C-alpha cells in the first residue's frame, strides 16, 4: 500500500474543450474530425471540405455553431446608461427588439472588443462577443447602482443559419410572420414549451438569421431545422468557410484585423475604431464614453493606419504580404491582414492595414507563392475598393425571396 494518489485514466481531465449544446449532431456530421477550440468549447474548423461548405452558404443555407460566443445579460434601470458609457455608439437610440453592432475602447481609444447588443426588453440587453468580457463589464458597471451583469453563455444555445434559402427553411419550419423581420430585428416564437428568439443577423454578408433557445431544446430545434431544410440544401459549416464569407463581406475578424487591446504587448499593436474604418460607430454627440477624448483627438489629426479593401491582379493570394509604395520595394507602407481568391466575386481580394498618408499613392503587394515546392515572388499593383466585395441585395430584402 502507498499514499500516492491514483493516476487518472485521462491525464488531461478537466482541460479538454467542452461540448456545445449542438455537439451531438455536429459530431455525427464532422466526417474529417476537424476540430479546434473557441472559449473552451470544441469547435468545428470544417466538416467535410471548407470550399464545399462555403458554396453551401452562398447557394443554399448552412448552420454555424455560435454557442461558444460569449453572451451577457445587462439588466436594470441603469443598463442603458451603463452600456452607453461603455460603448462608442448611442445605445439609448436602440429600440426594443433591435440589434446593433458596436465596439468598446480603453481610455486611450484602443478597441477592447467588438460585438452585438440586443435590446430584448425595456431594461434588458444581451451583449454577444467573441472573448470573455465579464470583468470589463463589471468594471464598466461601477458607479451605476441599479444594473445587473449575468453571464448567460451556458444558458443560451445559439445557432447561425446563413444563405439564400435560410428564410425558406425557417418558413418551412413553421415560423409564421418571419417575412416581416428586417435586418437587425428580433422576433420570438414558441417552440416545445420554450421561447425561440430569432434575429436577422450574421457574419457572412448574406441573408441570414441567428437562433437563440434554451439548451434543453437545442437538439430538438436542430432536428426541426434540418427536417425543414432538407429540400433547401442545409449543411453545417465551420470556421474556415466563415472566414471566407466574412472576408468577402469586408468584416473584421479578431486576431486577424483586430488585436484586442487588453491582450496586446507591443504599444499600438492594437487598433482604434478609426484605424479599422469603424469611425461610423463613434457617436460624439452623446455624453462621455470610454475613450472619447482620445478618439476626438484622433479624429482631428487622422489615424496613423487605415484598414482598406484591396482588389489584387492575378490569382496569387496575398496572404501575409507586405505592402510598398513602389514596385521596387522602396518604402514599406503596410501589411495584409486577410486574403483569398474569392469564388463568388471571381477576384483576388484582401484586407490590409496601410499607413494613412500612403493612401494617396500607389499600393504594391509583395506576394510569395509556392509552385511545385518552390517559392516565387511577384509584385502586384493593388486597387482600393470602397464597397464590400460581396453584399447581394437579398441581404436586406424584406420580405426575402421564397424558394420551393
Is 210 annotated among the ligand-binding residues? yes
Q: Does pLDDT of 11 surpass 80?
A: no
Q: Give pLDDT, residue 13.
A: 52
SS (H, E, C) 101-162: EEEEECCCCCEEEEEEEEEEECCEEEEEECCCCHHHHHHHCCCCCCCEEEECCCCCEEEEEE
C-alpha to C-alpha distance for 257 and 374, rounded to whole angstroms: 29
Cell of 128: 454577444
Question: For residue 25, is it left (φ>0), alpha (ψ between -120 and 50) or beta?
Answer: alpha
Q: Give pLDDT, residue 14.
A: 56
Q: For the chain, give me the number of helices (H) and strands (E)?
A: 8, 20
3-state secondary structure of 297: helix
Residue in 200, 382, 381, 199 with CA at minimum distance from that of residue 308 = 382
- Looking at residues 113-118, what average pLDDT do you find? 98
Q: Give pLDDT, residue 306.
A: 98
Domains and CATH numbers, the chain: 23-69+155-249 (3.30.1360.120), 70-151 (3.30.70.1400), 304-385 (2.40.30.110)
To which residue does cell 421561447 refer?
195
CA atoms within 13 A on the CB side of 289: 29
What is the edge-to-edge ordering of all strands in the sheet holding 111-121?
Answer: 98-105, 111-121, 124-129, 70-75, 148-151
Q: Does pLDDT of 12 surpass 70?
A: no
Cell of 63: 448552420
Record the pTM. 0.94
Q: Where are the beta strands (DSSP E) in 5-94?
A: 34-38, 41-46, 61-65, 70-75
Q: Give pLDDT, residue 359.
A: 97
Q: Does pLDDT of 133 surpass 60?
A: yes
Handedness of CA 111, 65, 98, 249 (dihedral sign): positive
C-alpha to C-alpha distance for 45 and 361, rounded to whole angstroms: 39
Element (H, E) at 377: strand 374-381
pLDDT digits (tens, 9 = 90+) for 366-380: 999 999 999 999 999
Reported for 114-117, long-range contacts at CB under 8 A and 24+ positions apart, including other chains, are 114/252, 114/254, 114/258, 114/278, 115/70, 116/201, 117/83, 117/87, 117/91
The DSSP bridge partners found for residue 61 are 234
Strands 305-312 and 347-355: antiparallel
3-state secondary structure of 274: coil
Contact 111, 103 (CB under 8 A): yes
pLDDT digits (tens, 9 = 90+) for 41-78: 999 999 999 999 999 999 999 999 999 999 999 999 99
C-alpha to C-alpha distance for 128 and 245, rounded to whole angstroms: 20
- Looking at residues 273-292, what average pLDDT do you find? 97
C-alpha to C-alpha distance for 235 and 59, rounded to whole angstroms: 11
3-state secondary structure of 29: helix
Handedness of CA 37, 275, 204, 385 (dihedral sign): negative
Q: Does pLDDT of 277 surpass 60?
A: yes
Amino acid at each position: 500500500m502507498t499514499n500516492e494518489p491514483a493516476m487518472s485514466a485521462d491525464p488531461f481531465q478537466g482541460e479538454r474543450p467542452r461540448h456545445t449544446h449542438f455537439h451531438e449532431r455536429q459530431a455525427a456530421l464532422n466526417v474529417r474530425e476537424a476540430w479546434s477550440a473557441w472559449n473552451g468549447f470544441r469547435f468545428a474548423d470544417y466538416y467535410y471540405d471548407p470550399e464545399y461548405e462555403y458554396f453551401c452558404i452562398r447557394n443554399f443555407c448552412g448552420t454555424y455553431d455560435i454557442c461558444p460566443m460569449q453572451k451577457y445579460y445587462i439588466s436594470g434601470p441603469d443598463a442603458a446608461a451603463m452600456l452607453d458609457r461603455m460603448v462608442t455608439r448611442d445605445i439609448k437610440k436602440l429600440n426594443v427588439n433591435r440589434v446593433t453592432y458596436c465596439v468598446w475602447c480603453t481610455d486611450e481609444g484602443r478597441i477592447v472588443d467588438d460585438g452585438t447588443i440586443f435590446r430584448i426588453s425595456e431594461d434588458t440587453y444581451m451583449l454577444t462577443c467573441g472573448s470573455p468580457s465579464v470583468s470589463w463589464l463589471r468594471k464598466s458597471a461601477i458607479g451605476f447602482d441599479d444594473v445587473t451583469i449575468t453571464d448567460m453563455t451556458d444558458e443560451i444555445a445559439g445557432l447561425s443559419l446563413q444563405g439564400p434559402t435560410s428564410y425558406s427553411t425557417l418558413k418551412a419550419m413553421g415560423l409564421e410572420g418571419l417575412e416581416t423581420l428586417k435586418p437587425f430585428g428580433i422576433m420570438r416564437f414558441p417552440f416545445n414549451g420554450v421561447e425561440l428568439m430569432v434575429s436577422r443577423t450574421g457574419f457572412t454578408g448574406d441573408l441570414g438569421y441567428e437562433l437563440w433557445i434554451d439548451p434543453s431544446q437545442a437538439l430538438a430545434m436542430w432536428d426541426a431545422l434540418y427536417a425543414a431544410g432538407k429540400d433547401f440544401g442545409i449543411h453545417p459549416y465551420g470556421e474556415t468557410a466563415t472566414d471566407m464569407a466574412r472576408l468577402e463581406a469586408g468584416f473584421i475578424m479578431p486576431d486577424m484585423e483586430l488585436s484586442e487591446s487588453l491582450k496586446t504587448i507591443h504599444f499600438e499593436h492594437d487598433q482604434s475604431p478609426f484605424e479599422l474604418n469603424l469611425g461610423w460607430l463613434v457617436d460624439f454627440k452623446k455624453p462621455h464614453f470610454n475613450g472619447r477624448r482620445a478618439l476626438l483627438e484622433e479624429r482631428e489629426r487622422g489615424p496613423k493606419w487605415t484598414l482598406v479593401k484591396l482588389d489584387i491582379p492575378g490569382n496569387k493570394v496575398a496572404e501575409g504580404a507586405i505592402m510598398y509604395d513602389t514596385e521596387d520595394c522602396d518604402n514599406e507602407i503596410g501589411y495584409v491582414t486577410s486574403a483569398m481568391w474569392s469564388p463568388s466575386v471571381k477576384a483576388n481580394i484582401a484586407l490590409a492595414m496601410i499607413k494613412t498618408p500612403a493612401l494617396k499613392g500607389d499600393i504594391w503587394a509583395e506576394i510569395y507563392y509556392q509552385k511545385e515546392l518552390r517559392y516565387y515572388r511577384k509584385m502586384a499593383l493593388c486597387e482600393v475598393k470602397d464597397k464590400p466585395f460581396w453584399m447581394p441585395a437579398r441581404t436586406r430584402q424584406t420580405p426575402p425571396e421564397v424558394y420551393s
